Amino acid sequence: MFPSNGKPPPLSPVLLAGIAARPVSPRLLQPVLDHVMKLLGKQHPDLFERLSCLSDPTFLIDPIDLPVVFHLDANPERTYLEVSRSIERPAAAVIRGPLMTLLDLLEGRMDGDALFFSRALAIEGDTEAVVALRNAVDDSGIDLRGDVLASFGPFAKPAHRVLGMGGRIYTRMSRDLDMLKAALQQPQPKGPQA
Amino acid sequence: MNNTLVMGPVLFNWKPEDWRDFYFRIADEADVDEVFVGEAVCSKRTPFLDPFIPDVVERLVAADKKVVLSTLALIMNTREMNNVRDITASGDEDILVEANDVSATALLKGQPHAIGPYVNIYNEGTRDYFARNGATSICLPVELDLNAIGALAKDSPVPLEVMVFGRLPLAISARCYHARAHKLHKDGCQYICAEDPDGLDVQTLNGEPFLAVNGVQTMSHAYSDLSASVSDLQDLGINRFRLSPHANVDMVAVAQLYREVANGAIDAQEAHARLSGWMDGAAFCNGYIKGENGHTFSDAQ
Amino acid sequence: MKKLELVCPAGTPAALRAAVDSGADTVYLGFRDATNARNFPGLNFSRPELEQGIEYARSKGAHIYLAINTFPTAGDPEPWHKAVDDGAALGVDAVILADIGMLDYAAQNHPDLRRHLSVQASASNPEAINFYQDAFDVKRVVLPRVLTVPEIKALHKEISVETEVFVFGGLCVMAEGRCSLSSYVTGQSPNTNGVCSPACDVRYEDEDDGSMVSRLGDFTINAFAPGEAAGYPTLCKGRFVANGETSYLFEDPVSLNAASMLSELQEAGVTALKIEGRQRGKAYIAEVVSSFRKSVDGMESGAEVENDLTQVAEGQRKTAGAYQKTWR
């Protein structure tokens, strides 16, 4: 889907996604992520149970078209998802790919194997952890817009100002993503075949 | 304690005359108790061997070897099925048949027979079923470790056997990889597997030795040498040891070596050192029996 | 002729719902342990999940088959026996077994529980199939992926049990249940651990030139040029060197797709079509099951519906596999 040098083609929708996301500072996004993880723990307890087979369930999720990375620790005692501008600590596994692809994977709209076969995703480190995460996430039926954004929506009470602000940013991202998704669903040239 | 040394069937496509001469020499010179004869890998090879089988069996019987007729491991069509039906029907009390597929065990039901390593016998329930069915010996699958073998050997109603020497038979397929490696199909294979009397070496892209191809069979690149585990196996109650024939080493000498190991006449390190000396450059493995990756080798007992 | 039954995989409850909603007649699945041949991290069903899954399937008229298709460890048959007991208690429509000891156990202890023979038993000929029927009253045999369509047809003249054949998904190139390649390299095998080429032994390494190398245990399985579609390093699907030539020696990175052969398979006597992929995501399940639902429904009206499932296929290419003799 994308050249494998990790750089999106110029003026692609993915680049626009990067631009759209740029103003989101990690400091503002973090409360949103904390909220997301709390929600996930409550709504999808199976998700973490499925990962209990791993001794080190730590992940670095790197959307190659965003200037940030996400650190995920799925250990039941210290579950967290943290956003930062740089890789701050080692993780058992790294999942790298365009944001849209990662979101599709997260919400179970696309098959992890199929994505990897097309090399839209790159995996480093503990492949078992990645496979477990993918299987767990695929089952959980996470719906970012339905579950997470609804909790930020007009009828949800923002916990405090920063969270509200993060929520607005998220809503804007969501709108942008919808637009980008429409653009992405246009026919695209395929990568070279084996 | 009586140790039974078994010469397994030749798994490779040797020239029929070489194949015959190998068995003649085993009959005349090798210190083995049982000798398995017949094609287990590819049905396309059987017409070439068939004319020599009576002479080979006669010579072995005359030398007081117990002869067992091997059968195909993978049976996919009527011709192959009929081949196995013919062999299972020809066995008697003196010359047993080795089943290498469940179909052959069914055909041999109620009469004494051997079971080869291609039938999946991983646990006591399956072992006991086949014992009730008439099996008089069972050669275990190659991937079992000492714990599993110990559990199977405990109170076994039938003598169990472990393959201790030779390239490990790891997989069998409908597809011929030997033909494929030469850009041929199985139907027009030109019997190209005859070029490699010990199998065709397969390396990884980095040049690491990996596997060996023998027609439709895939084998280990490394040669299994379980001499270091023979006494452990004996302690567990295993007294049947199978040697799988190769062309690049004197199998009479290999049989003598394992006889000495089984009798406790030489220690395992000495045995392995001799074997390595005879097989210049060969890699060895014994990982399975130690519960490790199958390709690894350690000389610790 | 009776309509072909569509038997679909599920590795999670979400995948089960996706399969049922997409038109599966039957969903096959396994417990979250070494008793089934897709014992992958984060995959498969707990007992309560199976109970709910059965309820969901029943509410939509679908069936559940429970795969207990590994070979019990000597000295520790308990997890396997318990899997059969629990499957029977929860009311699965059939158990799919491979081990003779297990078939014996199930036939003795749960005579009314329908028994199918797993592909892992590699029953490829009439004597073997009739043996499993006579000895354990097996009602259906999943045929190993080694037979051509004419061979399946010839086989049906000599057997009376139902057969189920794979029509889509990953393709074992070796006779199933008779392959120790994975344990040779990693210590873990499909027969004993329920995994082939386990993810814990897989590494992808990026090279400086933008290419990527996939490794399994101590061995290099494949290398991909920049942008080249990459596969999971299942060890029989790698690129190796023999006679000085580099090739996909065992199998190219392809998926089985027999969608164009459904009528032939039905005429050969096949009862059910099986889709591989309990380890795949629910998106894959939904896409593949819907596609085959259309194809099977289309057969009723005499219209053969070709599918285009290239995007979800491994290596993004498809093959009719062993069903065509030239594959050999």
Residues of chain B in contact with residue C185, where contact means CB-CB under 8 angstroms, are: 293-295
What residues does each domain of chain B span?
A: 4-170+223-267
DSSP reduced 3-state for C172: coil
Would you call B103 and C131 a contact, using CB atoms and an 8 Å cutoff?
A: yes
Under 8 Å between Cβ of B276 and B284: yes
Which pLDDT value is given to residue A155?
Answer: 42
Whether residue C71 and residue B120 make contact (CB cut-off 8 A), yes or no, is yes
What is the residue range of C242's domain? 181-247
Min Cα–Cα distance to chain C from B149, Å: 8
Write a three-state SS string for C64-89: EEEEECCCCECCECHHHHHHHHHHHH
Query: C163-167, C251-255, C304-308: which has the highest mean pLDDT?
Result: C163-167
Q: Is the predicted pLDDT of residue B3 greater than 80, yes or no?
A: yes
Distances (CA, A) of C133 to B103, B113, C113, C137, C232: 12, 22, 14, 4, 37
Given a contact cutoff of 8 angstroms between Cβ atoms, the answer to whether C196 and C216 are in contact is no
Shared-domain flag, residues C165 and C53:
yes
Is C236 found in the same domain as C97?
Answer: no
Output the domain CATH number for residue C17.
3.20.20.70
Shared domain for C13 and C127, answered yes or no, is yes
- Window 167-196 of C: residues touching B by CB (8 A cutoff) are 173-175, 177-181, 183-187, 189, 191-192
Reference B152, options C101, C67, C128; nearest CA is C101
Query: Considering the domain boundaries, does residue C176 fall inside one?
Result: no
Q: Map out the domains of chain A with their CATH numbers.
A: 13-26+41-140 (3.30.1050.10)
> Last residue of a domain, which of C231, C247, C263?
C247
Nearest CA in chain B to C72: B123
Question: Domain for residue C119, yes or no?
Answer: yes
Same-domain check for residues C243 and C259:
no
Contacts with B141 from chain C: Cβ below 8 Å: 180, 191
How high does pLDDT run on average in chain B? 96
Is B4-170+223-267 in CATH node 3.20.20.70?
yes
Shortest distance, CA C140 to any CA of chain B (angstroms)? 17
Q: Is residue C133 part of a domain?
A: yes
B122-179 pLDDT per residue, tens:
999 999 999 999 999 999 999 999 999 999 999 999 999 999 999 999 999 999 999 9
Do C and B touch, 3+ Cβ pairs within 8 Å? The answer is: yes
pLDDT at position C321: 78
Residue contact A128–C15, C-beta within 8 A: no
pLDDT over 80 at A107, yes or no: no
Nearest Cβ partner for C316 among A109, A112, A193: A193
Mean pLDDT of the region C76-101: 97
For residue A35, pLDDT over 60 is answered with yes
pLDDT of the residue at A16: 44
Among candidate residues C247, C266, C294, the one where a domain is terminated:
C247
CB distance C318 to C53 below 8 Å: no
The answer to whether residues C220 and C267 belong to one domain is: no
pLDDT of A33 strictly over 60: yes
Checking if the pLDDT of A24 tops 60, the result is no
Q: Across the interface, do C203 and A127 touch by the CB < 8 Å criterion? A: yes
What does the longest C-alpha to C-alpha distance in chain C come to? 61
Give me the pLDDT at residue A12, please.
41
Return the residue of B nearest to C322 by Cα.
B174
Task: Output the pLDDT for position A169.
Answer: 52
Checking if the pLDDT of A159 tops 60, the result is no
If asked whether residues C238 and C262 sit together in one domain, one would say: no
Residues C165 and C46 in one domain: yes
- Name the E strands within chain C: 5-9, 26-29, 63-68, 94-97, 115-117, 140-142, 162-169, 174-179, 202-206, 212-216, 219-224, 240-242, 245-247, 255-257, 272-275, 318-319
The candidate with the shortest Cα–Cα distance to C81, out of C58, C113, C57, C54, is C113
Tokens of A172: 């804007």
Out of C146, C185, C241, the one facing B76 most closely (by C-beta) is: C146
* Tens of pLDDT, residues A127-145: 889 888 888 888 887 776 5
Same domain flag for C228 and C306: no
Tokens of C162: 């139902």
Q: Which residues pair with B162 in a beta bridge?
A: B241
ipTM value, please give it: 0.96
Place of tokens 């249940």: C177
Q: Which of A171, A188, A174 is nearest to A12 (CA)?
A: A188
Q: What is the 3-state secondary structure (H, E, C) of chain B?
A: CCCEEEECCCCCCCCHHHHHHHHHHHHHHCCCCEEEECCCCCHHHHHHHHHHHHHHHHHHHHCCCEEEEECCCCCCCHHHHHHHHHHHHHCCCCCEEEECCHHHHHHCCCCCEEECCCCCCCCHHHHHHHHHHCEEEEECCCCCCHHHHHHHHCCCCCCEEEEEEEEEEEEEECCCHHHHHCCCCCCCCCCHHHHCCCCEEEECCCCCEEEEEECCEEEEEEEEECHHHHHHHHHHCCCEEEECCCCCCCHHHHHHHHHHHHCCCCCHHHHHHHHHHHCCCCCEECCHHHCCCCCCCCCCC
- Residue of C14, C203, C226 with shortest CB distance to A138: C14
Given C214, C247, C280, the domain boundary residue is C247
Q: Are residues C46 and C146 in the same domain?
A: yes
Number of domains in chain C: 2
